[in-house]
């Protein structure tokens, strides 16, 4: 019987070691540092531990243990029980999953935003490299889907300001998600558009004007301008440029309206839903 118990104990220790190794690998894939993964695993396998106990269990230096505990606390993966000394416990498994899932979603959103910004910056750089005979940086975009995709990327990558003069409701609708995100990032929005309802977050953040003619001009951060030409239903073309003169001319349409007028009447603009 004693031999059976010894074999069973050895087998369980082996399984636990393999499981622990896999857990630490997965936690690292989810963004935790190796020391933080080791501490969290030690807490999961106990009813609670002090900092001194975790130092003994994990072998992590006492100069680092409190930084690691703070990392886990900020991620919502442990709770602190007051006392002398304090005791640390891993939160419930369901809460571990919820908090890590939220962190992954936030990181993915940040990564996608960074990627969108990167793409919006690479095109002008590429154009500047390949067009050595012309100092102006310009790119011709063909097709409404491609134009809208580029406009969305520009707005998504905006850091300080978006100026949009657009008479086409469909074009504006295609940019709503990016405009909403820009407003949430406290990007300054200046919109000249038809009197259509816009999401509340955009309505609150944007300076709006009525538009009196057919045009589509987008200026981002005062450095990039996208102008759309052609009638709806036809093959559309757009010019994307970082040329300072073109950017300044585009902004002149807002600063000294040539085709857009300030909405004067209180009811000229329709409030968002």
pLDDT in tens, 131-160: 444 444 578 888 888 888 899 999 999 999
Do 187 and 65 fall within a single domain? no
Do 130 and 241 fall within a single domain? yes
Residue among 258, 267, 269, 266 at smallest CA distance from 165 = 258
Half-sphere exposure at residue 81, Cβ-oriented, CA atoms within 13 angstroms: 12
Do 61 and 127 fall within a single domain? no
pLDDT in tens, 202-221: 999 999 888 776 778 999 99
Domain CATH code at residue 38: 1.10.10.10
Do 199 and 66 fall within a single domain? no
Domain annotation covers residue 242: yes
Whether 162 and 189 have beta carbons less than 8 Å apart is answered as yes
pLDDT per residue as tens, the chain (273 positions): 555 445 544 444 554 556 777 877 888 788 888 888 888 888 888 888 899 998 998 899 888 999 999 888 988 988 888 888 889 988 888 888 888 888 888 888 877 777 776 766 665 555 545 444 444 457 888 888 888 889 999 999 999 999 999 888 888 999 999 999 999 999 999 998 888 899 999 999 999 888 776 778 999 999 999 988 766 666 778 889 888 888 888 888 787 655 555 443 333 333 333
Do 257 and 143 fall within a single domain? yes
Domain annotation covers residue 272: no
Three-state DSSP class for 215? coil
Domain annotation covers residue 98: no
Domain span at 83: 2-91
């Amino acid at each position: 019987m004693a031999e059976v118990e010894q074999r069973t104990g050895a087998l369980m220790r082996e399984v636990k070691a393999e499981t622990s190794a896999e857990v630490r690998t997965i936690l690292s894939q989810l963004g935790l540092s190796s020391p933080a993964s080791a501490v969290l695993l030690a807490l999961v396998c106990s009813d609670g531990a002090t900092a001194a106990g975790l130092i003994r269990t994990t072998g992590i230096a006492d100069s680092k243990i409190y930084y690691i505990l703070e990392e886990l606390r900020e991620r919502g993966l442990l709770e602190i029980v007051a006392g002398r000394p304090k005791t640390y416990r891993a939160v419930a498994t369901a809460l571990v999953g919820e908090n890590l899932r939220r962190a992954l979603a936030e990181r993915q959103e940040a990564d996608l935003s960074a990627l969108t910004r990167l793409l919006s910056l690479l095109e002008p750089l590429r154009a500047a490299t390949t067009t050595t005979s012309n100092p102006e940086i310009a790119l011709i975009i063909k097709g409404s889907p491609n134009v809208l995709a580029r406009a969305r990327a520009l707005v998504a990558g905006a850091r300080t300001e978006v100026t949009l003069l657009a008479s086409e409701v469909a074009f504006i609708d295609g940019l709503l998600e990016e405009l909403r995100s820009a407003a949430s990032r406290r990007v300054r929005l200046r919109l000249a558009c038809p009197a259509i309802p816009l999401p509340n977050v955009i309505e609150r953040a944007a300076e709006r004007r009525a538009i009196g003619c057919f045009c589509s001009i987008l200026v981002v951060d005062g450095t990039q301008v996208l102008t759309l030409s052609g009638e709806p239903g036809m093959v559309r073309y757009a010019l994307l440029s970082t040329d300072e003169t073109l950017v300044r001319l585009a902004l002149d349409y807002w600063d000294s309206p040539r085709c857009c007028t300030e909405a004067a009447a209180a009811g000229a603009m329709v409030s968002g839903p």
